[in-house]
Structure 1
Amino acid sequence: MTLDTQRARGQAGGGLPPGMTPDLVEQLRTRLRGGLVRPGDADYEESCRVYNAMIQKHPALIARCADVADVIASVGFAREQKLTLAIRGGGHNGGGLGICEGGLVVDLSRMRGVRVDPVARTVRVSGGSVWGDVDHATHAFGLAVPSGIISTTGVGGLTLGGGLGHLSRRYGLSIDSLLAVDLVLADGRFVTASAEQHPDLFWAVRGGGGNFGVVTSFLFRAHPVGSVIGGPTLWPLERAAEVMQWYRDFISAAPEELGGFFAFMTVPPGPPFPEPLHLKKMCAVVWCYTGDPARADEVFAPVRALSPALHGVQPMPYPVLQSMFDALYPPGLQWYWRADFVKELPDAAIARHVEFAERLPTMHSTMHLYPIDGAVHRVAPGDTAFSFRDARWAEVIVGVDPSPGKAREISTWTKDYWNALHPYSAGGAYVNFMMDEGQERVQATYRDNYARLVEVKKRYDPDNLFHVNQNIRPTSAGAEELPH
């Protein structure tokens, strides 16, 4: 019986898989310092909850890893018992790929820690950390690592998918500041991957997701970032086409010290937004300027000249900007995602964007365009697994709401919006913005890098133990889908 066939047999319902005895489970429990959660335990249901409440799965076991030894034991157990294995870092995984039905979850969220070397300007980060941990530690030294836009995002998931956010135009993707990773491989070995050690593996983890092992720590290069000048600028939705056309040309010509992502939004009913704007549908750009403060007025002059309804840009510590949206998007909301990379933004595409912005279904639903030019473009598409170095934006459309009763509405809006805009896309998508969308989308995302990724996968995970992800299969593209 093949490993894939054994995986496909009824590992569902939160009970022990066929052939799994309580004695075997007890053997694993005694090997873990962090603890093991099983169906029937008082904290089992809570432990099954993930950031995206639309995802509801019930693993047979959840290993709460306290250290690398726990990870090695858990990976070995899943391999030996032919269990579906999912890796949960410290943060979001909007597609719900940090959990599985009926298998084993390796939960790294207790492995949190950050050590900054201010002289070398490096940062060692444990695999279960979130970006707020990193921002807190690095800001004390006037440093930062390029990351996302929400501080509760996990370091592991965001980095392994590429890592784009406020600092991308100036300092590149998160993987462009990655110096090394420690990881546990499918066969239980613990290795370091860097430019000098296992360089093929180091190439693959920079954008290839969790396909190659469980990363237990990251070593980053940090950059000088202290206070920034940032925040949102808002315009009425009836001006959306005009503002989007202006933004399309402005951001590409702006200095790389200026980051700014475009958004459609419904204004939240609370500070810092003035009451007359509450619950209005608007378009926005959220800015982050890391250049010379003396030049800020000059840099933002074209923004002010466009007469925004709100220009909420001001000096603030970088961690404040990074956590600005944390309260708006807490764990437990319903999320449905669709995404694409975009090279051009023609007027015809803008018209379709505006059409769907007028139909934003809920207050939390949104569309973002993240610029990925500047420093991102100075790395060749083949230098890392992240392929779309020639794109100008990463587009993401998300239907979001607290109520399960809205799930169909937000999903339909998201899919219809994506279908309307996909013809204008570059063909692939940022893996951290993807749901479980099938193998064709994965291959479109990695383009010419996919074949090389398959070879690395064959070398380090030939049985595809790590398949609960945007999967790079060690076999032909026509192989049978594995269960998640």
Structure 2
Amino acid sequence: MTPTEGYADRTAIKDFRETLRGNLIQPDDEGYDEARTVWNGMIDKYPALIVECSGAADVANAVRFAREYDLEIAVRGGGHNVAGTAVCDDGIVIDLSSMRAIWVDPRARTARVEGGALWSDVDHETQAHGLATPGGIVSHTGVAGLTLGGGIGWLMRKHGLTVDNLLSADMVTVDGELIRASEDEHSELFWALRGGGGNFGIVTSFEFALHPVGPTVLAGPVFWAADDTAATLRFYRDFVRDAPDELGTVVRLGTIPPLSVVPEELHWRPGVAINACYAGPVGEGKSVLRPLREHGTPLLDLVSSKPYVAHQSGLDSTVLHGWHYYWKSTDLPELSDDLIEVLVDHAFSTESPRSYAVLFHQGGAVSRVPGDATAYAGRNAPHNININGVWRPDEDFSESETVWARRFFNALRPYREGVYVNFLDVDDDARRVREAYDEHTYQRLAEIKAEYDPDNIFHLNQNIEPTG
């Protein structure tokens, strides 16, 4: 029985609505189409109910209602996951996107963040005190999804992954109960939440440790022509090998985006960019970044002193809501000459000018945390690459960019070392969840899943099936 047919079910929905402070949206309601859309415009699903929760009590009531009527449950935080698991057909979407409050304790250097917050919300509040916690590289990414998968970004080499800064989490269980997980409460669950994704319940708030960062940092990209990619990547390999922890870098292989700060003659020109953020004194950063900025013949150098929040949002317009995205990803070793050759051979063979590959450099504080301290299992990988097929809804690049991403990914097979679970897409990536964890970590996660969600009710995610 579904709660969308029959008099008794209409009555049940009416009663359910009265338990909520937030909105309950059905297919015939105004705003339904907007409420069911997520960041990846390829995702087009039609839930029976969308609960726009106002707090943890709404989340708990929605879980109980879904369980009573055997409804498929999708959980939405920021809605930014490329696989589109934040929405489902016919079931119920438990939407936390209205829950975006932030409470900062500057003396304790902690922040409590609601489960629907975006990283722009967090940075806005914490930077008022010159503090930050490691987040992603796009400010409209959701806090919940990024955190639960691990959290790689600009500050990770200095301050660790996002999960390394998680102090506690409030969660609604599969039975609609509200619990807190930390090192002292539900400690096994707390371990699993730090890298195991949304498999165990719905996290309604996170408590993070904060660190002095900014509010001004030395940051920005340097661009070189595509023909200089091999030489630039060989230089980069040596440059980051002994880089200080304060230096976070991301390499982008693709066209130069038409940002307002980019001269028009460079718009859409194929190139390689090394984007940097120095999480330390600006003067010190200038010395560290000098060799990078003087390498070869850059097309454009946009490194400057700027607000940390401005750098955090600098890539937002290159990954807009509603565009179509198809991802393939893998962890990679240090950049050997042979690996660099593969990157050069494949990165610029796209048809869509919006497609690109992005290479993250880990190490530093990430690699110094014991491997079994959290469920994030990719700490020893020097790099992670995310191959992004990107096109607008009105562009006919679906087949070409999907084929490009797969071909690129397959060419990396000799170098693949695992995968960051947050970068797994739908399609053939579903069976790759085990690649994100070593065998011991995966087995431990499956056992914790069996304790907190034995029937795998929360399975619209990068799913870990419960043991037994």
Corresponding residue SS for 1:21? helix
Amino acid at match of 1:312: L
- The 2-side partners of 1:344 and 1:29 are apart by 54
2:40–2:84 contact (8 Å) kept in structure 1:
yes
Deviation digits for residues 333-352 of structure 1, max 9, x if unmatched?
00001111112322222112
The alignment status of 1:213 with 2:179, answered yes or no, reads no
Aligned to 1:137: 125
Which of 425, 432, 438 matches 1:435? 425
Aligned to 1:158: 146
Aligned to 2:369: 379
- The 1-side partners of 2:414 and 2:466 are apart by 30
The alignment status of 1:247 with 2:236, answered yes or no, reads yes
| CA 447–105 in structure 1, closer or farther in 2 if over 3 Å, else same | same
Q: TM-score under structure 1 normalisation?
A: 0.93
Aligned to 1:82: 70
- The 2-side partners of 1:389 and 1:172 are apart by 10
The alignment status of 1:102 with 2:77, answered yes or no, reads no
- The 1-side partners of 2:329 and 2:57 are apart by 37
2:217–2:281 contact (8 Å) kept in structure 1:
no
* Offset, 1:327: 2.1
Deviation digits for residues 201-245 of structure 1, max 9, x if unmatched?
000000001001100000000010011100010011001011111
- The 2-side partners of 1:284 and 1:154 are apart by 25
1:91–1:152 contact (8 Å) kept in structure 2:
no
* Offset, 1:422: 2.8
Q: Which moved more, 1:199-208 or 1:267-276?
A: 267-276
Q: Which moved more, 1:434-443 or 1:114-123?
A: 434-443
Which of 246, 255, 274 matches 2:263? 274
The alignment status of 1:236 with 2:225, answered yes or no, reads yes
- The 2-side partners of 1:47 and 1:439 are apart by 25
| CA 19–382 in structure 1, closer or farther in 2 if over 3 Å, else same | farther
Amino acid at match of 2:446: V
Aligned to 1:447: 438
- The 2-side partners of 1:376 and 1:469 are apart by 24
Corresponding residue SS for 1:327? helix
Aligned to 2:415: 424
Which of 410, 414, 417 matches 2:405? 414
- The 2-side partners of 1:396 and 1:121 are apart by 32
Aligned to 1:396: 386
Corresponding residue SS for 2:437? helix
Amino acid at match of 1:283: V
Matches within 5 A, 1:2-401: 16=4, 21-226=9-214, 227-307=216-296, 308-401=298-391
Amino acid at match of 1:282: G
2:213–2:280 contact (8 Å) kept in structure 1:
no
| CA 17–162 in structure 1, closer or farther in 2 if over 3 Å, else same | farther
| CA 65–258 in structure 1, closer or farther in 2 if over 3 Å, else same | same
* Offset, 1:38: 0.7
* Offset, 1:466: 0.6
* Offset, 1:292: 2.4
1:110–1:128 contact (8 Å) kept in structure 2:
yes
Corresponding residue SS for 1:264? strand
Amino acid at match of 2:406: K
Corresponding residue SS for 2:390? strand
Corresponding residue SS for 1:211? coil
2:322–2:393 contact (8 Å) kept in structure 1:
no
Runs of 5+ unmatched residues, structure 1: 1-5, 477-484
- The 2-side partners of 1:195 and 1:236 are apart by 49
1:150–1:323 contact (8 Å) kept in structure 2:
yes
Aligned to 1:482: none
- The 2-side partners of 1:372 and 1:252 are apart by 11
The alignment status of 1:464 with 2:456, answered yes or no, reads yes
- The 1-side partners of 2:24 and 2:219 are apart by 43
Corresponding residue SS for 2:145? helix
Corresponding residue SS for 2:241? helix
Once superposed, what is the RMSD of the aligned Cα atoms?
A: 1.7
- The 1-side partners of 2:429 and 2:248 are apart by 32
| Stretches of 4+ aligned residues off by more than 4 angstroms | 17-20
* Offset, 1:361: 2.5
1:91–1:155 contact (8 Å) kept in structure 2:
no
Q: Which moved more, 1:303-312 or 1:255-264?
A: 303-312
1:122–1:220 contact (8 Å) kept in structure 2:
yes
Deviation digits for residues 351-402 of structure 1, max 9, x if unmatched?
1211122213223211111111100011122110111111111210001111
Runs of 5+ unmatched residues, structure 2: none
- The 1-side partners of 2:293 and 2:429 are apart by 44
2:192–2:448 contact (8 Å) kept in structure 1:
yes
- The 2-side partners of 1:46 and 1:88 are apart by 14
Aligned to 1:479: none
* Offset, 1:19: 11
Aligned to 1:481: none
1:17–1:102 contact (8 Å) kept in structure 2:
no
Amino acid at match of 2:290: A
2:79–2:86 contact (8 Å) kept in structure 1:
no
- The 2-side partners of 1:409 and 1:113 are apart by 41
* Offset, 1:20: 8.2
2:78–2:142 contact (8 Å) kept in structure 1:
yes
Corresponding residue SS for 1:140? helix
- The 2-side partners of 1:280 and 1:86 are apart by 40
Corresponding residue SS for 1:418? helix
Corresponding residue SS for 1:125? strand
- The 1-side partners of 2:361 and 2:85 are apart by 26
Give the total of aligned pairs: 463
1:86–1:98 contact (8 Å) kept in structure 2:
yes
* Percentage of identical aligned residues: 44
Q: TM-score under structure 2 normalisation?
A: 0.96
| CA 79–239 in structure 1, closer or farther in 2 if over 3 Å, else same | same
